[in-house]
Amino acid sequence: MTIKVYAISQYLYCPYKLCLSQRYDGAKEGIYEVKKVSSAYRLMKYLHQDFEDMLRSNMWRVEVNMDVDKIKNMLFKGVYSLIENALAIIDLDHYIPSPLRLKEEWIKALQLEIEILSLRIFKIMNNTNKSGREIMEMILPPALYSYLIYDKCLDLSGIVDKIEIIDGKYFPVKIKYGSPPLRGVWESDALEMVAYSLLTEKEFEIDVNVSFVEYVQLGDKRPVIIDSEIRAIFFKLMDQVRKIIYDHEYPEIVQNLNKCKVCEYRTLCEHRGY
């Protein structure tokens, strides 16, 4: 048995949620509520790697004299086929959006992402006088996607959304389609990135001092500095997580009406606050 990185987010959402997930995970529908995914953005990770591969291919055709609209049209080539292929492999029975609605929302989301990227490419080309293929690694550095890492010493495992490799350095990245806080990143995301950074250090035997949370709908990649202070917070948190998972301790209940109302374990929680 190993602790999954997502247990950190469960604990920070509600320690008792982590406790219930350990007790009831794997149960059949009817024992607890199975929460269906209602947002197309939550499904976007099915597309992300193929989308970035498509963008790299399209950037080879982007020339210095192109305006923003031409760049946008060039980058958009292949999007419809990409979406059709993704829809063909997703079990839509577990998701609320209809295939048509999902397709429309994906197109809208990718159009926005391409618009932001096109403006960035246009500005860089104007400043450097280089073509798309010459600035490609600046925009889309080489990366490992959905990379599974397990480390026995850390007693931790998880799938890193993306690990960017720049000048021989490795940068774990969490991909998000939701809204960020006004500054920085959410606490749960920051501590997840500590976990992924530690796993990346062990896997590749390198130091990781910075990781990122990428808010793709805003074209915003926010850093998480992996310093001694946040590492200490992480290990203290892991001690609490281990007590729940291994020692079966019951944590104190912290009721939050907004969280309780949308928790998939709310019908089982004797301390529900709604």
How far apart (Å, rounded) are the C-alpha atoms in residues 38 and 102? 10
pLDDT in tens, 154-171: 999 999 999 999 999 999
Q: Is the distance from CB of 51 to CB of 175 less than 8 angstroms?
A: no
| Tokens standing for residue 62 | 């982007």
Q: What's residue 250's pLDDT?
A: 84
Supply the pTM of this predicted model.
0.84
For 272, residues 6+ apart whose C-beta sits below 8 A from its C-beta are 255, 260, 263, 266
pLDDT in tens, 142-155: 999 989 999 999 99
Are 154 and 23 part of one and the same domain? yes
User: Residue 28 — very low, low, confident or very high, per pLDDT cuts 50/70/90?
Assistant: very low
Q: What's residue 29's pLDDT?
A: 41
Cα dist from 258 to 11, 261, 267, 273, whole Å: 16, 6, 15, 9
How far apart (Å, rounded) are the C-alpha atoms in residues 96 and 110? 20
Between CA 112 and CA 116, with CA 115 as vertex, the angle to 5 degrees is 90
pLDDT in tens, 63-113: 999 999 999 999 999 999 998 888 877 766 655 557 788 788 889 889 999
For 181, residues 6+ apart whose C-beta sits below 8 A from its C-beta are none
User: Is 156 buried (19+), middle (13-18) or exposed (0-12) by CB count in 10 A?
Assistant: buried
How far apart (Å, rounded) are the C-alpha atoms in residues 55 and 49? 10
Count of C-beta atoms within a 10 Å radius of residue 20: 20
How far apart (Å, rounded) are the C-alpha atoms in residues 6 and 4? 5
User: Which of 117, 139, 161 is where one domain is finished?
Assistant: 139
CATH number of the domain at 238, please: 3.90.320.10
User: Which of 89, 122, 139 is where one domain is finished?
Assistant: 139
User: Residue 35 — very low, low, confident or very high, per pLDDT cuts 50/70/90?
Assistant: very low
3-state SS assignment for residue 76: helix
pLDDT in tens, 203-219: 999 999 999 999 887 78
Mean local confidence (pLDDT), 120-131: 95
Q: What percent of the chain has pLDDT over 70?
A: 86
Q: How far is CA 153 from the centre of its chain?
A: 25
Mean local confidence (pLDDT), 185-203: 96
Are 131 and 151 part of one and the same domain? no
How far apart (Å, rounded) are the C-alpha atoms in residues 156 and 6? 10
Q: Is the distance from CB of 26 to CB of 78 less than 8 angstroms?
A: no
Q: Is the distance from CB of 13 to CB of 188 less than 8 angstroms?
A: yes
Q: What's residue 25's pLDDT?
A: 64
Residue-number span of the structural domain to which 127 is assigned = 40-139
Are 233 and 146 part of one and the same domain? yes
Are 124 and 190 part of one and the same domain? no
- Is there a domain that residue 33 lies in? no
User: Which of 96, 123, 139 is where one domain is finished?
Assistant: 139
